[in-house]
Amino acid sequence: MENNEAEQLVKEFKEIPPMPNVMMKALEVIRNPYTGIQELATIMSVDQAISAKTLSLVNSAYYGFRQQITSINKAVVLLGMMKAKNIIMSLAMRQMMTTQGSRELWEHSIRCAIASEYLAAQFKFINPDDAFVIGFLHDIGKILLAQKDAAKYSKVKYIAQQNNQSLIELENTFFQANHCELGALVAKKWQLPVILINCIKYHHNPSLSSLPAACGIVYIADRLVQAQVGDEILEPEIMERLPMRISDPVGLREQLISKTNIFLKEISAN
Ligand SMILES: [Fe+2]
Ligand SMILES: [Fe+2]
């Protein structure tokens, strides 16, 4: 699909949701080279839910810090700016993803973020902190489809799952658009980096991307953390065109699911 055709299409959808305020502030702070940990800690402290959940996460087995951490300042120092920002993002996007998408979408996004971060650290094609952001936002286009017609989109997802059909093809048939194209437009509207827009657009077909290694990380992460997997977790015809090999997808999937369960438990608790 041509770019302007896709943009025309997005006009037919409801307005692209604005980025949540706290996430916008966190991104501004990170982009500005003169701001420090203190500013980020201040943003986190203002939001009670974010600060409480960040503290419970840094005190959990997920990070495994030895000492008890009771202040947000200390938590941000120990985590570092980028990891702190990724926690802000996971929490700040929760409301938008669950109300305009679904709870499953939010959980799946977190699982994919953690898996992408892990794979990026293993394969070293992209920075693991960037991989977290890409993994987290990869399915953001689903929000637009759910906004357009929630009942119809639930039906499309149900058909795809029951018949093991391609979700993208069904989206194209029922909506004349798919979540990859729409997600890339959301990322563009939010002025996110090009690598992110590209990976969102091609996460189901990484070999078509101009950045196949980066997209491949998100493709693999996405497949490994799916709630339901068929016999073929990773599609051989896609994997053979990617520059990385996964020798034991079943074992890796188990490992990643238990890792993501700890993270989700801490940030889902009230
Ligand atoms: Fe997807
Ligand atoms: Fe996904």
142 CA to centre of ligand 1 in angstroms: 8
CA dihedral 224, 226, 231, 232 (to 10 degrees): -50
Token pair belonging to 218: 């998100």
Nearest residue to 93 (alpha-carbon basis) of 27, 180, 13: 27
Starting from the CA of residue 227, give the closest ligand.
Answer: 2
What domains are defined for the chain?
21-92 (no CATH), 97-268 (1.10.3210.10)
pLDDT attached to residue 156: 97
139 CA to centre of ligand 1 in angstroms: 5
Starting from the CA of residue 111, give the closest ligand.
Answer: 2
Starting from the CA of residue 202, give the closest ligand.
Answer: 1
Contacts of 87 (CB under 8 A, 6+ apart): 50, 53, 54, 57, 79, 267
Determine what percent of the chain falls in helix, strand and coil, rounding each to the nearest 5. Answer: 70, 0, 30
Residue at 30: amino acid letter: I
pLDDT per residue as tens, the chain (270 positions):
555 656 666 666 657 778 888 888 877 877 777 777 888 888 888 888 889 999 999 999 899 898 899 999 999 999 998 889 899 889 888 888 888 878 899 999 999 999 999 999 999 999 999 999 999 999 999 999 998 899 999 999 999 989 989 999 999 999 999 999 999 998 988 888 899 999 999 999 999 999 999 999 999 999 999 977 777 899 999 999 999 999 999 999 999 999 999 999 988 865
* Cα-Cα-Cα-Cα dihedral sign, residues 16, 22, 26, 29: positive
25 CA to centre of ligand 1 in angstroms: 27
270 CA to centre of ligand 2 in angstroms: 26
- 3-state per-residue secondary structure call for 236-252: HHHHCCCCCCCCCHHHH
Predicted TM-score (pTM) of this structure = 0.90
Starting from the CA of residue 110, give the closest ligand.
Answer: 2
Give the integer Cα–Cα distance in Å for 77 and 143. 34
Q: Which residues, chain by chain, have CB under 5 Å from ion ligand 1?
A: 139
- 3-state per-residue secondary structure call for 24-82: HHHHHHHHCCCCCHHHHHHHHHHCHHHHHHHHHHHCCCCCCCCCCCCCHHHHHHHHCHH
Starting from the CA of residue 178, give the closest ligand.
Answer: 1
Residue 100: its H or E element: helix 94-100
63 CA to centre of ligand 1 in angstroms: 28
Number of H helices, E strands in the chain: 17, 0
220 CA to centre of ligand 2 in angstroms: 10
Nearest residue to 3 (alpha-carbon basis) of 188, 146, 179: 188
225 CA to centre of ligand 2 in angstroms: 8
Starting from the CA of residue 222, give the closest ligand.
Answer: 2
Starting from the CA of residue 226, give the closest ligand.
Answer: 2
**Terminal Cα-to-Cα distance of the chain (whole angstroms):** 43
Name the DSSP letter for residue 102: -
47 CA to centre of ligand 1 in angstroms: 30
pLDDT attached to residue 73: 92
Starting from the CA of residue 224, give the closest ligand.
Answer: 2
